[in-house]
């Protein structure tokens, strides 16, 4: 008996596998890419916010650097909580432990099955099941749960939430307005990702770990928020919310607005910048003019006033002077790209490739040591 499928190529198993191979590879690469981007941006945000907090807490600013090691991230550093011990929660915890410099004692995980997290407990991470306790302790809380569990979790942590705690949602299926409604809270960050290419090129290191991918300079460049708009990108509103969150931290610690701006400028645009040294220009600066006029009326006349408390959900849903500046200023984009890449220990070379930080890193440490502590004067 002859094969009845001999002339029907689409019914043959080899053809079926070949036809589905490309979409499956694309889906796999996209899934890994989303995870790599989410962990990279969470690590960057934690390092940036920790640096701002450290400038305010430590008397000797020479111990502080965005690319510093764990020795500057002691028990007084940023407190990070993770709700959810599944795949996303574990990947995030590993990335923070390996790359953020935050000590294990400053990372807590709340999950319904803490006994499954022995690898983290052995490293010193406290694992338990009490979401309210976690939220009351943490400076940043990452939501890494399933969408079906989110409403119950929000109901349980609502009473324990207090400013300036920041809720950072990695539950992509739930939009920001719904999160704000569930929590009755405005200090929420939710990165939004766009897949702008069907290219199945394995730029994300599909077969490796998240930690290994985030130690690859090419991957770091691909995850940069101000980088080329290809593959997978995070919207610019996320980057804007990151800096407003930093200003909220300054406000909560009663830092006058002039000193708060100086702090952000020193963190984001350090001395001996290679971009401006090459182009013989001055680094961009954050000014009150980047904020809405209604926020700046009183600030112009009273130097010791703090910034107002910014609603981070509104920041991510509406245009602002900062988002308009970020969209049109290539110089600012280049400097923030430099900041992002050096936070992972790599630096954009003149040719557009990547290189280790080298001399620029040494200059950054030197400039940090030369600055006076914040709160001691502007």
The least confident of 222-226, 324-328, 372-376 is: 372-376
Top-confidence residue, 376 or 272: 272
Looking at residue 125, its pLDDT comes to 97
- Average the pLDDT over 194-220 and give the result: 76
Residue 160 counted as domain residue? yes
- Claim to verify: residue 204 and residue 269 sit in the same structural domain: no
Looking at residue 335, its pLDDT comes to 87
Q: Is residue 354 over pLDDT 80? A: no
Top-confidence residue, 18 or 214: 214
For residues 364 and 163, give the distance between their C-alpha atoms in angstroms, rounded to a whole number.
Answer: 32
Q: Is residue 115 over pLDDT 80? A: yes
- Claim to verify: residue 322 and residue 280 sit in the same structural domain: yes
DSSP state of 153: H
For residue 272, what are the CA distances in angstroms to 118, 280, 283, 359, 367? 44, 11, 10, 10, 8
Top-confidence residue, 49 or 370: 49
- Claim to verify: residue 128 and residue 22 sit in the same structural domain: yes
* DSSP element (H, E) containing 77: none
Residue 8 counted as domain residue? no
pTM as predicted: 0.81
Q: Which residue has the tokens 């929420």?
A: 188
* DSSP element (H, E) containing 157: helix 147-157
pLDDT band at 330 (very low <50, low <70, confident <90, very high): confident
Residue 173 counted as domain residue? yes
Domain endpoint, select from 191, 211, 231:
211
Residue 216 counted as domain residue? no
Looking at residue 348, its pLDDT comes to 59
Contact 117, 111 (CB under 8 A): yes
pLDDT band at 302 (very low <50, low <70, confident <90, very high): low
- Average the pLDDT over 15-44 and give the result: 74
Looking at residue 101, its pLDDT comes to 85
pLDDT in tens, 139-164: 999 999 999 999 999 999 999 998 88
Q: Is residue 365 over pLDDT 50? A: no
- Claim to verify: residue 155 and residue 260 sit in the same structural domain: no
For residue 298, what are the CA distances in angstroms to 47, 280, 306, 311? 31, 35, 10, 19
Top-confidence residue, 286 or 151: 151
For residue 188, what are the CA distances in angstroms to 34, 85, 313? 20, 20, 6
User: Residue 350 is part of which domain span?
Assistant: 240-369
Residue 5 CB neighbours (<10 A): 12
- Claim to verify: residue 28 and residue 168 sit in the same structural domain: yes
Domain endpoint, select from 166, 194, 211:
211
Instruction: Name the burial class of residue 354, with classes exposed (0-12), middle (13-18) and buried (19+) by CB atoms within 10 angstroms of its CB.
Output: middle
User: Is the sign of the CA dihedral 374, 375, 377, 378 positive or negative?
Assistant: positive
Q: Is 129 helix (H, G, I), strand (E, B) or coil?
A: coil
pLDDT band at 359 (very low <50, low <70, confident <90, very high): very low
Share of the chain above pLDDT 70, in %: 70
Q: Is residue 300 over pLDDT 80? A: no
Cα angle for residues 326, 328, 330 (degrees, 5° grid): 80
Helix and strand totals (H; E) in the chain: 16, 10
pLDDT in tens, 34-63: 999 999 999 999 999 888 777 766 533 444
Q: Is residue 360 over pLDDT 50? A: no
Residue 167: both structure tokens together: 């809720």
- CATH code (residue 185): 3.40.50.720
Residue 319 counted as domain residue? yes
Contact 53, 75 (CB under 8 A): no
Count of domains for the chain: 2
Closest residue by Cα to residue 291 from 314, 307, 267:
307
């Amino acid at each position: 008996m002859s094969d009845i499928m001999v002339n029907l190529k689409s019914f043959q198993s080899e053809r079926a596998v070949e036809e589905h191979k490309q979409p499956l590879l694309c889906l796999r690469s996209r899934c890994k890419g989303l995870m790599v981007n989410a962990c990279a941006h969470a690590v960057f945000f934690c390092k940036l916010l920790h640096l701002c907090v450290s400038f305010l807490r430590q008397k000797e600013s020479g111990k502080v650097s965005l690319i510093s090691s764990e020795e500057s991230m002691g028990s007084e550093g940023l407190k990070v909580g993770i709700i959810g011990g599944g795949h996303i929660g574990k990947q995030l915890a590993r990335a923070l432990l390996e790359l953020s410099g935050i000590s294990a004692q400053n990372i807590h995980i709340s999950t319904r099955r803490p006994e499954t997290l022995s690898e983290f407990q052995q490293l010193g991470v406290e694992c338990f099941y009490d979401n309210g306790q976690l939220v009351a302790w943490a400076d940043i809380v990452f939501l890494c749960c399933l969408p079906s569990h989110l409403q119950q979790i929000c109901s349980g942590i609502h009473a324990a939430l207090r400013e300036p705690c920041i809720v950072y949602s990695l539950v992509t299926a739930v939009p920001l307005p719904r999160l704000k409604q569930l929590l009755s809270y405005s200090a929420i960050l939710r990165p939004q990702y766009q897949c702008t290419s069907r290219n199945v090129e394995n730029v994300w290191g599909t077969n490796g770990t998240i930690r290994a991918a985030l130690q690859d300079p090419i991957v770091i460049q691909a995850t940069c928020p101000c980088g080329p708009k290809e593959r997978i990108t995070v919207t610019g509103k996320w980057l804007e919310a990151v800096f407003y969150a930093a200003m909220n931290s300054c406000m909560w610690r009663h830092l006058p607005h002039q000193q708060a701006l100086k702090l952000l400028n020193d963190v984001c645009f350090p001395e001996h910048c290679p971009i401006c040294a090459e182009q013989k220009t001055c680094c961009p600066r954050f000014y009150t003019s980047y904020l809405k006029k209604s926020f700046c009326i009183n600030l112009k006349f009273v130097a010791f006033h703090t910034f107002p408390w910014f609603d981070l959900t509104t920041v991510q849903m509406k245009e602002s002077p900062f988002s308009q500046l970020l969209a049109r200023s290539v110089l600012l984009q280049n400097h923030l790209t430099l900041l992002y890449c050096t936070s992972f220990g790599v630096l954009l070379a003149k040719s557009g490739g990547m290189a280790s930080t080298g001399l620029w890193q040494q200059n950054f440490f030197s400039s940090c040591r030369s600055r006076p502590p914040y709160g001691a004067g502007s």
